[in-house]
Amino acid sequence: MASDTGTGSPERRPRREGWRWLPGSRLGRLIIVLNLFGLAILISGALVLNELRRGLVNARIDSLTTQGELIATIIDQAATVGEPEPMMDGAYASEILQLLSNPRSQRARLFDAEGRLIADSYWVSDRVEWRTLPPARTRGDGPGLDLNLSGEDDPQDAATAKAEAALRAEVNTALRGVHWAGLRMGADEERVVSVSIPIQHVKAVLGVLTLEARDVDEIIAAERAALLPFILIAISVSLISSLLLNRLIAHPVRRLARAADRVRLARARAISVPDISRRDDELGDLSRSLEDMTHALSERIDAIERFAADVAHEIRNPLTSLRSAVETLGLVEEPAARDRLMAVLQNDVQRLDRLVTDISNASRLDAELSRETPTPVDLRRLISDVVSLYQATARAGEPSVVFTPAEPVEPVMVSGQEGALGQVLRNLIDNARSFSAPDGEVRVGLSRQRGRAFITIDDDGPGIPPENLESIFERFYTSRPKGAAFGGNSGLGLSIVRQIVVAHDGSVRAENRRPEGAAEGGGEEDPRAVAGARFTVILPEARR
């Protein structure tokens, strides 16, 4: 009989508190924190870079606009000649542009009212505009280099033409008296922050001043280089978190799977991974649950093996008797002896039938108990119904059955399966009646105490030997009084009782009753000190 509590299973430890403000389980919270930490670093770096790039462009536009308005005002005041049709003195305006000496990172151009370039800060400084030469091209008609310097089909010439077109459009916009500020692409396909400011005298547009800053790409490249440590840190955190997750989750799960394979391949009877079972997380719970499950399955397999051996042993006895009677029947010629052998054969057949029926019921019991859902059961009503059935079907010369419940008269509710509990009552009552005298009485009692229900079945029989008070619940155990018919019981009734009661989280015990007024010193080994047997079933009451 398997115990109701698994032995050898690791003790469940209380789980530590931590990170309760995050949703999910402990491992789930750990995974969330590790993954979000690296992602937060990367997002923070990207946000910082975007803000700096946007602020850099805006700052450059504001700076160039302020400088351009100042230079345009000076040129308007100092280099404007002619009334009433004013004109800009190009030579004097160029000198003014040279005197203002723009920073080396900027380029200033001056256009007249027709959009012609009349001054360029590159002309009055040591700054030389340059670009990379295109790769050498081979001639299509043979070996050697193509010495055509016309620049046709040169992608850099196309970029230059595109940049000049953008500049002309910008200057034309300013010639209409509109300030222009923004980003455009230069000849080297670099970003250029440019502002074009019209030089106006009253309402007449005398020219256009264009200021450019070409260091935006350099600053952005520097910012990207500054972002590289953030990226490396984020990658490192992601790698470390992945390794930790592999170490904490993937590797233990793989070990559990291999342990389960060993159990499946019959190389082990139970899963045992001690270092995982000691963990205080979901994997530790899983490992302990698997150990408990396989331990329970191992105990059940052992119980089935013992049950099969007991069944084989019990069936062998009537089969041996049957074979002997059949072999002897052909040698006996006296009618009386043949009648006795026929009676033996009938008795053995009935015994086999009873054994097969009880064994079938016992083998189905586990499956039935696991399939049915527990429901509230009123023990007072159940006992009354069972006892009433015995009273209604009682025959002359059979012991009577009475129900003597304790007060108060109110329902005693337990959680379980009514059919299985009814079988417990019938088996105990049948056992008590088999040991009672024909005019005897079997008394069924019911009481409650401290949240538990107590069912007692008393008889007036010879009692139970003290050394057998526990062994009577073993399978196929039979101990009948002298004169009882041999083979009249299968020895499974009390075993089934304990199996059902344990499945309901209860217990059952047997004891001998002492007669009223018996001396305390009288030992139970003295038959005169025993008034009968008592079986007590203890079940937990259902929560209300």
For range 399-422, the mean pLDDT: 85
- For residues 140 and 361, give the distance between their C-alpha atoms in angstroms, rounded to a whole number: 100
Boundary residue ending a domain (201, 222, 243)? 222
DSSP codes joined into one string, 372-423:
SPPEEEEHHHHHHHHHHHHHHT--TTSPEEEEEEPSS----EEEE-HHHHHH
The phi and psi torsions of 437 (rounded to 5 degrees) equal: -70, 160
Contact 452, 539 (CB under 8 A): yes
Closest Cα partner for 387 from 307, 441, 318, 338? 441
Residue 309 has what pLDDT? 77
348 with 388, same domain: the answer is: no
Where does a domain end: 342, 371, 400?
A: 371
- Say which residues have a Cβ less than 8 Å from residue 487's Cβ, sequence separation at least 6: 318, 347, 348, 350, 351, 354
How many CB atoms sit inside 10 A of residue 116's CB?
A: 11
Tell me the CATH number at 360: 1.10.287.130
For residue 157 the two structure tokens come to 């010439």
Report the alpha-carbon distance of residue 44 to residue 46 in Å, rounded.
Answer: 5
Write out pLDDT tens, residues 298-340. Answer: 887 887 777 777 777 777 777 888 888 888 877 877 888 888 8
Percentage of residues in the chain with pLDDT exceeding 90? Answer: 8
For residues 38 and 118, membership in a common domain is answered with yes
- CATH code, 469: 3.30.565.10
Whether residue 172 is predicted with pLDDT greater than 50 in this model: the reply is yes
Which pTM was predicted? 0.50
Distance separating alpha carbons of residues 509 and 268, to the nearest angstrom: 35
DSSP for 171-215 reads HHHHHTT--EEEEEE-TTS-EEEEEEEEEEETTEEEEEEEEEE--
What pLDDT shows up at residue 60? 84
CA dihedral 211, 217, 223, 228 (to 10 degrees): 180
Residue type, 425: L
For a pLDDT cut of 70, what percent of the chain falls above it? 78
Residue 164 CA to residue 66 CA, distance in Å, equals 24
DSSP reduced 3-state for 163:
helix
Report yes or no on 21 lying in a domain: no
User: Long-range CB contacts (< 8 A, 24+ apart) of 28-31?
Assistant: 30/248, 31/245
Kindly state whether residues 166 and 81 are assigned to the same domain.
yes
Whether 213 and 81 have beta carbons less than 8 Å apart is answered as: no
pLDDT tens digits, 331-360 = 877 888 888 888 888 887 887 887 787 777
Q: What's the pLDDT at 482?
A: 52
Residue 462 located in a structural domain: yes
**Is it the case that residue 149 has pLDDT exceeding 80?**
no
Instruction: For residue 337, tell me if it sits in a domain.
Output: yes
Q: Cβ of 409: how many Cβ atoms within 10 Å?
A: 7
> How many beta carbons lie within 10 A of that of residue 492, not counting itself?
27
299 and 361: one domain?
yes
DSSP 8-class letter at 92: H
Contact 512, 530 (CB under 8 A): yes
Same-domain pairing of 357 and 398: no
For residue 521, name the pLDDT band (cuts at 50, 70, 90): very low
Least confident of 39-43, 242-246, 496-500: 39-43
State the number of CA atoms in the 13 A half-sphere of 414 facing the CB: 28
Cα separation, 381 vs 172, in Å, equals: 105
Judgement on whether residues 191 and 207 belong to the same structural domain of the protein: yes
In a shared domain, residues 56 and 165: yes
- The token pair that represents 537 in the structure block: 């079933």
358 belongs to a structural domain: yes
343-352, 356-365, 373-382: least confidently modelled range: 356-365
Which pLDDT band holds residue 48 (cuts at 50, 70, 90)? low
The answer on 381 and 331 residing in a single domain is no
Judge whether 208 and 178 are in contact, CB under 8 Å: no
Neighbours of 312 (CB within 10 A): 9
* Residues 156 and 88 both lie in one domain: yes
| 250 occurs within a structural domain | no
Q: Are residues 104 and 170 in the same domain?
A: yes
Least Cα distance to 520 among 510, 529, 532, 533 occurs for 529
Q: 213-267 pLDDT, tens per residue? A: 887 777 777 777 877 788 788 888 888 887 788 778 878 888 888 888 877 776 6
- Structural contact between residues 433 and 442, judged by C-beta atoms closer than 8 angstroms: yes
Distances (CA, A) of 171 to 42, 197, 426: 41, 9, 110
Please work out, in degrees rounded to the nearest 5, the angle formed at the alpha carbon of residue 37 by the alpha carbons of 36 and 42: 90
pLDDT at residue 1 greater than cutoff 80: no
When mean pLDDT is compared across 84-88, 100-104, 174-178, 373-377, the lowest value belongs to 100-104
Q: What is the mean pLDDT of residues 423-450?
A: 88
d(CA 273, CA 290): 10
- Residue 235, domain member (yes or no): no
Quote the CA–CA distance of 20 and 42 in Å, as a whole number. Answer: 26
**Domain count within the chain:** 3
- Looking at residue 182, its pLDDT comes to 85
In a domain, 238, yes or no: no
Residue type, 265: L
Distances (CA, A) of 191 to 169, 185, 223: 17, 5, 15
Amino acid 85: pLDDT: 75
Same domain, 199 and 289: no
CATH number at residue 51: 3.30.450.20
Over range 156-181, report the average pLDDT: 85
> Is-contact 121 107, C-beta < 8 A?
yes
Predicted local distance difference test score (pLDDT) of residue 143: 53
Where in the sequence is the domain holding 378, given as residue range(s)? Answer: 372-544
Closest CA to 210 of 168, 165, 245: 168
Residue 116, domain member (yes or no): yes
In the block, residue with structure tokens 């989750």: 249
36 and 120 in a single domain? The answer is yes
Instruction: Please identify, among 326, 341, 371, the residue that sits at the C-terminal boundary of a domain.
Output: 371
